[in-house]
Structure 1
Amino acid sequence: MGIFDSLYIGNSGLNAAQIQIQTTGNNITNANNEFYTRQRVIQQAREGLHRAGGDIGLGTNVQQIVRMHDEYAYQKMTSSYSNLSDTGYKEQILTEITNRFPDLADSGIFQDLKDYYAAWNDYASNPAEASQKTVLLNATRILTNDINTAYNELEEIRSTVNEQFLLTIEEVNEIAKQISEINADLQRIEINTSVNGNDLRDKRDELELRLSKLTNIDSFKEDISSRTLYKDDATIYDMGRNYTLSINGITIVDGSNYHPIKLNTEFTENGYAVPYYELNDESRIDISARFTSGKIAAMLDLRGRVPNGDGSFTDGLITKYQDNLDAFAKTLVTQTNSIYASSASTEMVSDYLKDVKDDTTLQNFDSGIKDGEFTVKVYNTQGQVVAQRNIAINAATTLNDITRGNSIVNDFNMNKDDNGDNNNTNDLDDYFKAVYAYDPISKTGNISFKPTDRHPSGYFIAIEDNGTNFAGTLGLSKFLDGQSAASIRPDDDINHDSALIKGGKSPLAGDNEMANDMVNMQNQRFYFNSLSTGESTETISGYYRYFTTDIASDTASVKSQHVTNTAINNTSVQEWQSVSGVNIDEELSNLIKFQSSYGAAAKIITTVERMLQTLLDLKQ
């Protein structure tokens, strides 16, 4: 141990202090960098000279420059961002949907319903006035058009969400690719175990944070360790070189390799793609259910995850709203037409019924058709009922097959003494005949009730329903057309000529009995069958209120969750910043301390220099 060793000791102190000052300066200049992690210099005493009297120190050595990164706090923060992004996106879309259903005092579908039934009431009060028919038709157009618009706006929002979903999947893939490239750079740079790619790891953290806002992620980093530099600096470091990033068990980054998420449009329409993961054997895994938080999960919760193959979905909040609006529209059409069928017509012809063969049971065709019976009435020109017959419907009833139960055609055409007068020429089957025609090529059929050859004219037919919904479901006499919110509209003939609107049950002018039933319809409870929420019983306006309340309830729930997630996120960010963020006051204090260390080390060198000069002077 000589005097020059003392010089080396001072020099090691100068070098260490200089690196500490540089590192502190780097922290200060990056104080406003959101994704910068403050750094610290790890010093270690050099191995001393081992002498009999004790070890003699040889100065200090800078071992590493490390990030003050707490992996546990960081993972909590990324998780909180994922949840915050999820509820934030849902809140944005649900608020937009809520705004599409304002239902203010003088606007909205609820007001349209009031105006619609008010128009029926005015018409019932003045059935001879042609102007009332025009007013009623206009009210009907406004109501049905607003229902169409509401449904189409929901579909437009779904389409927008889907477009954003496609772009977000691309963004996830791009971020994953960048992370894999950073991992490759880290593997190259950190071959020497004393070298840390701190800035690259900050960049990777930034990408992970961006990714966590898009979806739920799990990152696995080997060689996680805990180290305490100072009394308040206990942190968990991610110094490992092996890295895996996954989404609920699906690996998208494995070291320097990345595996993109792909999109399948094979079984969907309108660009509604399904995300999948391709295995090494090229088999595909639908990973829709793997997204549980983040923006993508919110999009799938809104748009739907499971496609039907016809452009619609079996799930999703927007699907629920559309299904409920469809149930509202279908019941409105069915019940309106069921009442309208009680008005006398020269004949009745149903809609074209898809996939309804002769032996298809009515309740299998449409669950809205219920057990019970309806009454077929025949009127003469004087408005008198000359024949009537009750026809029953149950689970086995078909349109034209009696092998397992009754059929409508058979029960209608049966030679039966309805009047009980022993006269076989004045019953229902004598005035009208039921025919069901099915086309196996188009797979459609329709049922008709037309005059017989015995009484080809001068008689009218009407159906008074007693809860079966038969006439309204099959469209035998229509005031409204369509079977969904997207297709509901006034009947085409009525839409072109309001004079065709009927108000009575009999063919007599001035009869308003049917119109009065239509007015009373608004106070009756009916079955509503939504594919998403099931069957319920409500009034027409009551079900619409349920529909809008459901949207408002979902929106309020998401807003409440978002407030909670915002608070949790703020806490986790503060915790992370307390460990990794740059505190200017602390750094300035350290700068003064390291400056003093530098000056003290320099003092050692100047002292040694004087000692050397003294030795030289002695030699002279």
Structure 2
Amino acid sequence: MSTFSGITTSSRALTAAQRGMEVTGQNIANVNTEGYTRQRLEQSESVVGGVGMHARRLVPGEGVEITGIARVSNALTESAARQDVATAAEHRAGTAVWSRLEANLGEDGISGLSTQLNTMHKAFSDLGNATSTENALAGRTHVLATAQNVADTVRRVDTQVQAQWAELGGQVSLHVEDVNATAAQVAGLNTAILDAVTSGVSPNELLDQREKALTHLSEVAGVRVVARDGGTVDVYLGNSTIVGGRQSFAVSVVHGTSLAEVKAGTSSTRLTVEGVEARPAGGALKATLDAVNTTVPDVSEGIDAAVQKIAAAVNAVYNPATDANGVAVPGYSAANDFFTSSAASVKGGGAAERFQVNPALTPASLRDSSAGTVDRAVAKALGELPSAANSTTRTWRTTVVDVAARTQASEVRADLAAQVSLKSIAARDSVSGVNIDEEMTNLVSYQHAYAAAARVLTTIDQALDTLINRTGLVGR
């Protein structure tokens, strides 16, 4: 090993230390950059070449070699973080749906259906206690007004639920557009990463951008990511490929025709990729699809069932089909019911949308007494209905409590999922995130290494100066 080889060794040491400071500076510069993964200089000792008679014996190595700039990440923690982010987003979106449904019932104010039902039964009770013709006429007018308020409230609740269903369908479309745009971005980054790897350029920044896009895809649609050769990834929505290497495949949405048809099971909102149905495994898109196809239709069916029970309970007292002994009442006709259904649905809803006070009823024609009497028995019985076995208020309260309980349970699940997601992100960041204290330590280490390598080079330079310029000058 010649003296000049020492210069090469020192030069390599200087280059490695300088490159280490540059990598450390890059980490420090991006300490607050979202999605940035810290980088680390990878280096190894050079191996002395030569074998046989040309082998160099009893010499050190040839210094250090820079083998690459590694992106410090862990595939397991990144995958776990994506999965937990998708779960948290799914529960968060589901909670928003349930909270909106609970608000649509409107039971947090005086305009709620429970209050309107109590007011109607109070009006019936007052009518039952009327003692004069004038008071009875005023009582009947008040009964019809409060009953109309009940019908209006029922239809308002149904309108708001249908509006929520339609809005959720629009959200599905927005999520699909987001998925398609992000999938195209991932495919483009796959191409750039593959080109960078092929040409020997560091793809670390491109990998960070892709990981950020993949995390967003997971949050929206709960995608599955599979790594491939050359640094590319394939992305799956359910069992359908939306990114395959350099190419992305668009997701299409087929919307349900109407809420009524979804409740009837004859229509639904579906996603397709290349003509094949795709079902998200998580994310906000899954929660929104579930809401459109299941959650909102189920609640709407519950509202319809409660409204039908309310109408049946009132009609059974006002216009009974059978007497107390179960014998059919002569001349009974459903056309004389207090609550009826309109002939056709305007917006594609169910029983709640068609719920109405019998249009034929007037204060003069409203029946408040038993046939042939003025005992106000019918009005009194309707006034006592809230405490009966088939209580209208209890029926509606059951529906409200069920929605409230489901909302609360969804909120609890969302809180737990959010905590798990934060822990997963923290675990990922503990591996991939930039630690200022650690980087400062590295910076000092590289600085000392650079100074030491420079000192070695200076020493070799002085030795060469002695060898070249002072050899043969002994004794002068």
**Per-residue deviation, 1:178:** 0.4
1:237-272 Cα deviation digits (max 9, x unpaired): xxx43421112221111100111111224x624899
1:528-557 Cα deviation digits (max 9, x unpaired): xxxxxxxxxxx3222211111111111111
**Structure 2 partner of 1:556:** 408
**Structure 1 partner of 2:242:** 252
Q: Distance in 1 between matches of 2:457 and 2:302?
A: 85
Which of the residues 341, 356, 359 maps onto 1:489?
A: 356
Superposed, 1:502-521 pairs within 5 Å as 502-506=367-371, 508=372, 510-521=374-385
**Structure 2 partner of 1:117:** 121
**Structure 1 partner of 2:336:** 477
Amino acid at match of 1:317: T
Task: Select the structure that is richer in strand.
Answer: 1
Which of the residues 272, 285, 291 maps onto 1:296?
A: 285
- Judged with a 3 Å threshold, the aligned counterparts in structure 2 of structure 1 residues 54 and 616 are, in CA distance, closer, same or farther, namely closer
Q: Distance in 1 between matches of 2:249 and 2:268?
A: 18
**Per-residue deviation, 1:515:** 2.6
1:208 aligns with 2:214: yes
Q: Is the contact made by 2:309 and 2:395 (CA closer than 8 Å) also made in structure 1?
A: no
**Structure 1 partner of 2:347:** none
Which of the residues 362, 386, 401 maps onto 1:522?
A: 386
Equivalenced residues, count: 449
Q: Distance in 2 between matches of 1:215 and 1:302?
A: 15
**Structure 1 partner of 2:345:** none
Q: Distance in 1 between matches of 2:144 and 2:198?
A: 81
Q: Distance in 2 between matches of 1:548 and 1:338?
A: 23
**Structure 2 partner of 1:33:** 33
Superposed, 1:175-574 pairs within 5 Å as 175-192=182-199, 194-222=200-228, 240-265=230-255, 268-269=257-258, 274-279=269-274, 284-287=275-278, 290-304=279-293, 316-342=294-320, 374-377=327-330, 461=331, 463=332, 475-482=334-341, 484-494=351-361, 497-506=362-371, 508=372, 510-526=374-390, 539-574=391-426
Superposed, 1:588-603 pairs within 5 Å as 588-603=440-455
Secondary structure, in 3 states, of the residue corresponding to 1:485?
helix
Q: Distance in 1 between matches of 2:109 and 2:428?
A: 49
Superposed, 1:580-591 pairs within 5 Å as 580-591=432-443
Q: Is the contact made by 2:182 and 2:213 (CA closer than 8 Å) also made in structure 1?
A: yes
**Structure 1 partner of 2:348:** none
**Per-residue deviation, 1:520:** 4.1
- Judged with a 3 Å threshold, the aligned counterparts in structure 2 of structure 1 residues 191 and 105 are, in CA distance, closer, same or farther, namely closer
- Judged with a 3 Å threshold, the aligned counterparts in structure 2 of structure 1 residues 30 and 331 are, in CA distance, closer, same or farther, namely same
Superposed, 1:66-85 pairs within 5 Å as 66-85=70-89
Q: Is the contact made by 2:186 and 2:243 (CA closer than 8 Å) also made in structure 1?
A: yes
Q: Distance in 1 between matches of 2:381 and 2:276?
A: 55
1:399-425 Cα deviation digits (max 9, x unpaired): xxxxxxxxxxxxxxxxxxxxxxxxxxx
Amino acid at match of 1:585: D
Q: Is the contact made by 1:525 and 1:540 (CA closer than 8 Å) also made in structure 2?
A: no
**Per-residue deviation, 1:564:** 1.1
Secondary structure, in 3 states, of the residue corresponding to 1:246?
strand
Amino acid at match of 2:468: L
**Structure 1 partner of 2:346:** none
Q: Distance in 1 between matches of 2:370 and 2:34?
A: 76
Secondary structure, in 3 states, of the residue corresponding to 1:44?
strand
Amino acid at match of 1:479: F
**Structure 1 partner of 2:13:** 13
Q: Is the contact made by 2:128 and 2:368 (CA closer than 8 Å) also made in structure 1?
A: yes
Q: Distance in 1 between matches of 2:404 and 2:3?
A: 83
Identity over aligned pairs, percent: 21
- Judged with a 3 Å threshold, the aligned counterparts in structure 2 of structure 1 residues 55 and 247 are, in CA distance, closer, same or farther, namely farther
Q: Is the contact made by 2:237 and 2:281 (CA closer than 8 Å) also made in structure 1?
A: no
Q: Distance in 1 between matches of 2:138 and 2:127?
A: 9
**Per-residue deviation, 1:173:** 0.7
1:149 aligns with 2:156: yes
Q: Distance in 2 between matches of 1:95 and 1:262?
A: 28
- Judged with a 3 Å threshold, the aligned counterparts in structure 2 of structure 1 residues 578 and 105 are, in CA distance, closer, same or farther, namely closer
Q: Distance in 2 between matches of 1:10 and 1:69?
A: 31
Q: Distance in 2 between matches of 1:197 and 1:112?
A: 66
1:582-612 Cα deviation digits (max 9, x unpaired): 0011101100100111111111211121122
Q: Is the contact made by 1:39 and 1:66 (CA closer than 8 Å) also made in structure 2?
A: yes
1:618 aligns with 2:470: yes
Q: Distance in 1 between matches of 2:383 and 2:84?
A: 54
**Per-residue deviation, 1:517:** 3.4
Amino acid at match of 2:179: V
Secondary structure, in 3 states, of the residue corresponding to 2:352?
coil
- Judged with a 3 Å threshold, the aligned counterparts in structure 2 of structure 1 residues 276 and 97 are, in CA distance, closer, same or farther, namely closer
- Judged with a 3 Å threshold, the aligned counterparts in structure 2 of structure 1 residues 78 and 104 are, in CA distance, closer, same or farther, namely closer
- Judged with a 3 Å threshold, the aligned counterparts in structure 2 of structure 1 residues 549 and 87 are, in CA distance, closer, same or farther, namely same
Instruction: Choose between structure 1 and 2 for higher RCO, CA contacts under 8 A separated by at least 6 residues.
Output: 2
Amino acid at match of 2:253: L
Q: Is the contact made by 2:3 and 2:460 (CA closer than 8 Å) also made in structure 1?
A: yes
Q: CA RMSD in A?
A: 2.4
Q: Is the contact made by 2:10 and 2:457 (CA closer than 8 Å) also made in structure 1?
A: yes
Q: Distance in 2 between matches of 1:273 and 1:102?
A: 27
Q: Distance in 1 between matches of 2:207 and 2:97?
A: 35
1:346-397 Cα deviation digits (max 9, x unpaired): xxxxxxxxxxxxxxxxxxxxxxx9xx964133xxxxxxxxxxxxxxxxxxxx
Q: Is the contact made by 2:240 and 2:273 (CA closer than 8 Å) also made in structure 1?
A: no
Which of the residues 100, 103, 107 maps onto 1:96?
A: 100
Q: Is the contact made by 2:46 and 2:63 (CA closer than 8 Å) also made in structure 1?
A: yes
**Per-residue deviation, 1:134:** 0.9
Q: Distance in 1 between matches of 2:250 and 2:268?
A: 15
**Per-residue deviation, 1:56:** 3.2
Amino acid at match of 1:183: N
Q: Is the contact made by 1:46 and 1:57 (CA closer than 8 Å) also made in structure 2?
A: yes
Secondary structure, in 3 states, of the residue corresponding to 1:63?
strand
Q: Distance in 1 between matches of 2:271 and 2:289?
A: 13
Secondary structure, in 3 states, of the residue corresponding to 1:493?
coil
Q: Is the contact made by 1:80 and 1:569 (CA closer than 8 Å) also made in structure 2?
A: yes
1:550-591 Cα deviation digits (max 9, x unpaired): 111111111111221122112111111110000011101100
Secondary structure, in 3 states, of the residue corresponding to 1:486?
helix
Q: Distance in 1 between matches of 2:246 and 2:117?
A: 62
